[in-house]
Amino acid sequence: MKIKNIQAREILDSNGKPTISTEIELLCGDKGIAEVPSGTSTGTTEVLELRDKDGLGVTDAVNIINTKIKDSVIEKDFVSQEEFDNHLLSLDGTEQKSTLGGNSILSCSMAFCRATANSLGLELYEYISMIYSKENYNSQNLTMPTPLVLVMEGGKHGDWATDIQEFMIVPNKEKFKTFEDGFRQSIKVFQGIRDILKQKRYSTNVGLEGAFSPSEVKSNKEALDIILQGIQESGYIPGEDFNIALDIAASEIYDKTKSKYILKKEKKEFNTSNWVEFQKELYSNYPLISIEDPLIEDDWDGWGTITKELGGKYNIVGDDLLTTNTQRIQKGIDTKAMNSVLIKLNQIGSVTETLNAIRLTVDNKMTAIISHRSGETNDSFIADLVVGTPATQCKFGGPTRGERLVKYNRLLEIERKLLL
């Protein structure tokens, strides 16, 4: 695939923060456009997101794409996605992509992937399946994911309505045979939760990722009780029809000066062992199946302990701990620190590295979960990514805001294509 032109520009993400849109045109005339997201609650080992001196704009990153990267790829013939990505990684030459910026590299990587799929006359998920398996496309390898649908949010994403960052409902795949049916019933529960909040005279405003963030909620337990009630009053059985998943985002509630986890909403402080015990007691009363980032990102020993104690019952999901980095995922595997991995493209900065992270996860019999970021765009790339790989779950946010819905709607479109 020879590149005829590459052009980047600054756009805004869903938080009104500048990000990058890149278009790549191949010599054959086919094009691919990619828009990269940005995180709010981020791990310290994520690749560098290159920003201007004001800490906000991305004009420097855009200029790098339109000059340095462009000059290095024009008229060059790339035989694969991996070769293209490796070229950019070599051009950068740093572990955390601090020369070109992870956002610059990722926008080009995604755009090239989409342009190549278009040139081959393939759907993006078909092409991703090909390069993941390194074989010809086979529709029998594709399955629809189980969505972790965000219904309430707090922490940095929800103006600290709760200390826990994300509360999600998970439709049981055995009960709802299609993605469309499971998602439709999830929306019914979401609307039921809204009705309960209205009855309580709580706010139904939404947070950064499109879920309710009522400041009137008094505790994390009350939030879970409202969700449980929402499931029941929608006509479903908790633990049978729907389960619950949480993103604790523990690094955001940990006070390094005190070496304690602090629940500001509940005015409670915990050392690590007491924090684990608090979580165990809280979770035992609800139909939970997945817990993301239950401890701070650098407490490898603590992660090993909590996974040993709770991993048989729950998915213990590493996000900030692992940052979609194969070296960190391998360390997590070796130390048995988790049994599930959250996958975010912009944590690692290229399509190839993301696929390698998924491959390492599933080859070690762990659950791979494809995730959005708090600052999203209208790019639906991750919907194709979850279908084109063996990742079995996805986190795309609440069913309200357009930058979230474009991904859910893409999954609905893909399922219809697969059922034809």
Q: Which residue numbers are catalytic?
A: 209, 344
- C-alpha distances out from residue 204 to 25, 168, 217, Å: 44, 16, 11
CB 26 within 8 Å of CB 119: yes
Per-residue tokens: 258: 């005190």
Ordered strands of the 18-26 beta sheet: 3-12, 18-26, 31-35
DSSP assignment of 253-317 equals HEETTTTEEEETTTTEEE-HHHHHHHHHHHHTTTTEEEEE--S-TT-HHHHHHHHHHHTTTSEEE
The phi, psi pair for 23, rounded to 5°, reads -115, 130
> What's the CA gap between 40 and 17, in Å, rounded?
11
Residue in 123, 110, 96, 117 with CA at minimum distance from that of residue 325: 96
Type of residue found at 194: R
Contacts of 113 (CB under 8 A, 6+ apart): 32, 34, 81, 124, 127, 128, 131, 351, 381
Cβ-contact 256, 250 below 8 angstroms: no
Q: Do the Cβ atoms of 395 and 371 come closer than 8 Å?
A: yes
Rg, Å, the chain Cα set? 21
| Half-sphere exposure in the Cβ direction for 406 (13 Å, CA) | 13
Nearest C-alpha neighbor of 383 from the set 399, 402, 367, 407:
407
* CA 39, 42, 45, 51 torsion-angle sign: positive
